[in-house]
Amino acid sequence: MNKSNRNTLPLHKRNKSQATHLSEELKSKYNTRSFPIRKGDTVKVMRGEYAGVEGKITQILREFDRLNIEGVTREKIAGGTVPIKVHTSKVMITELNTDDKWRQKTLSRRETRGK
């Protein structure tokens, strides 16, 4: 998929293209390399100024392919804090939020794939 096609996709179809790498233990457990991100997943920032920071996803900005993560903030001159938006390709999922049945079903299907 080229950049112009990806930028014109409706937001409800961008979910599949915003999949992120899983940690080594999750890769071996679920038998898959990447999985679509969701609010509540715990991720680790792998690149940039905040590399190594781990936190939960608080907001997903599908139109910009970016995430807001707990603990990734910047101080404003006036005194407040602002969340920094991190690109989805720069994070790795360390813990999955398995609250909904659809996600549990998908993970169990991938778990048994290839065994």
Task: Quote the pLDDT of residue 114.
Answer: 65
**What is the tens place of the pLDDT at every residue in 47-71?**
999 999 999 999 999 888 899 999 9
pTM for the model stands at 0.86
Cα–Cα distances in angstroms (integers) from residue 51 to residues 16, 39, 90, in the given order: 25, 20, 9
Q: What is the percent of the chain with per-residue pLDDT over 90, rounded to a whole number?
A: 67
Query: Dihedral, CA atoms, 56, 19, 62, 74, nearest 10 degrees?
Result: 40
CA 99 from chain center: how many Å? 16
- The ranges assigned to domains in the chain are 3-105
Residue ranges of the chain with per-residue pLDDT less than 70:
1, 3, 114-115
Residues 6+ apart with CB under 8 A from 95: 26, 41, 42
Q: Domain 3-105: which topology?
A: SH3 type barrels. (2.30.30)
Instruction: Share the mean pLDDT of the chain.
Output: 89
DSSP 79: S
Task: Quote the pLDDT of residue 4.
Answer: 75
Task: Quote the pLDDT of residue 1.
Answer: 66
